[in-house]
Chain A
Amino acid sequence: MTKIYSKAIKTSQSIQMIRMGNIVSDIVQESSIQTGVVNIITLHTTTGITVNEGLDCLELDIVDLLKKLVPDEGPYVHAHFLPSYGRTSANATSHLRGLLLGNNAIFPIQNGKVLFGGAQEIYLVELDGPQERKISIVVSGD
């Protein structure tokens, strides 16, 4: 059996790490699936989904690293008027930072619960906020 859930999340900063572990656990419980996997997938190109230890200090380090690897200023080509949008694309850094994080995470489900490692937290990383973001959570198994 596979069930697909969607979650809308409003962010409040231009770059923001949002902890998703509890939300995913609740959805897996709601699904009644006992054994299987859960996929957490973002539907956007300027966000990322990643897994790391849920600590404030690490969140700061991760944001610093993203900014260092993709500096705010650079000769980005994705910085011009887009006639089909009627506006300027000014978010090359958001796309490129998203590239480093990927769009999904996957976890096992055992005995009806998400099998997290002791330190693991799931993050939605906002890279072009504040925005309203949609996350798809796909629970598969028996």
Chain B
Amino acid sequence: MIIDVHAHPYFLKEMCGSEEQVKFRRDNFGLYKIALQDIDLFKRQIAAAGIDKVVLLPLDLSSTAGGTLMSNHDMKYLEDLAPDTFICFGSIDPNSKTALSDLRTLIKDFGLKGINFNPSSQHFFPNDKAILYPVYEIAQKYNVPICFHMGMSWEPNSLLQYANPLLLENVAKDFPDLKFSISHFGWPWVVESCILAMKYTNVYIDTSMLYFDSPREFFKYVFSSQIQPSWIDRSLSNKVLFGSNYPRIEQLRMREALEYAGFREETLHKILELNPIRFLNLQGE
């Protein structure tokens, strides 16, 4: 069962109501010319990439942009449209007064499978104990994994000062049973991401990074110039998750990039299947 742990559903036709809603998503996600596509076409693309399940990530930008890219209620509705294929996360705005109650609703009422944060576009420091630690306590209690968008984000209102993966070290140490992933491989802080994932059992890294050149070229650069394929093969094979960052790039191209990055076959199997299954608590399925 091959799982893409990082995709965004903002431009699926079934989830696009008004033109203003689509414009809000384009402007705040920073993806301007994409055509809306229906779930049937998305499923064809998922199949063409040889993927079985996709984690879909929403984002609550209430404080910084005055709205959500997709609400938790919509994520629940979306998961029910294709429960065999979609694994839907929820999102809360840590700067909102209702953050903790939103989190409980997301977990208990909607049964969403994880939480997505983007500190750089939600404008918070993930190591802020006063604001974030109560959130992490609840997530840890219910064994809900967290996806942290770290490193470079393309959202226009995102700031790198919030995005250094090292901001997550206290979280990793203080919440040892809270599983979380560093998205975008934390790029450009790739070595920092590797260090955290190596040292802390609860820290994962996802591969949703594309900043220069083609996916194949960029993966080759990161995995043979910034770090070594052997680092992943020998020390981190259990900690890396395949993530595409669809629709900013096609899943097929990101999967091919991963397969050409120079890892051992066993490592690829772990990145594409075994690690996402463990991260997402899907062992029984």
Q: Chain A: residues with CB nearer than 8 A to chain B?
A: 10-14, 72-73, 76, 79-81, 84-88, 90, 92, 129-132
Contact = CB atoms under 8 A, between A and B. Distances in A.
Contact of A130 (B44, B213, B215): B44
A3 B45 CA distance: 33
A84 B32 contact: yes
A2 to B, nearest CB: 28
Given A13-B48, A79-B214, A85-B33, 20 more contacts: A10-B40, A10-B41, A12-B48, A14-B48, A14-B252, A76-B214, A79-B217, A80-B212, A84-B32, A85-B34, A86-B29, A86-B154, A87-B154, A87-B248, A88-B210, A90-B214, A90-B215, A90-B253, A130-B45, A132-B37
Contacts of A12: 44, 47-48
Contact of A80 (B37, B47, B213): B213
Contacts of A13: 48
B32 A85 contact: yes
A11 B215 contact: no
A46 to B, nearest CB: 12
B195 interface: no
Nearest to A73: B216
A86 B250 contact: no
B47 A87 contact: no
Please classify how large the interface on chain B is, using the bins under 10, 10 to 19, 20 to 34, 35 or more: 20 to 34
Nearest to B30: A86
B82 interface: no
Given A10-B44, A12-B47, A87 B214 contact: no
A131 B33 CA distance: 15
Interface string B228-272: 000000000000000000011110110010000000000000000
A115 B31 CA distance: 45
B48 A88 contact: no
Interface in B1-52: 26, 29-35, 37, 40-41, 44-45, 47-48
Given A87-B248, A90-B250, A131 B41 contact: yes
A72 B259 CA distance: 14
Contacts of A90: 210, 214-215, 249-250, 253
Contacts of A132: 35, 37, 41
Nearest to B154: A86
A129 B48 contact: yes
A87 B249 contact: yes
Nearest to B212: A80
A90 B256 CA distance: 12
Given A130-B44, A132-B41, A86 B216 contact: no
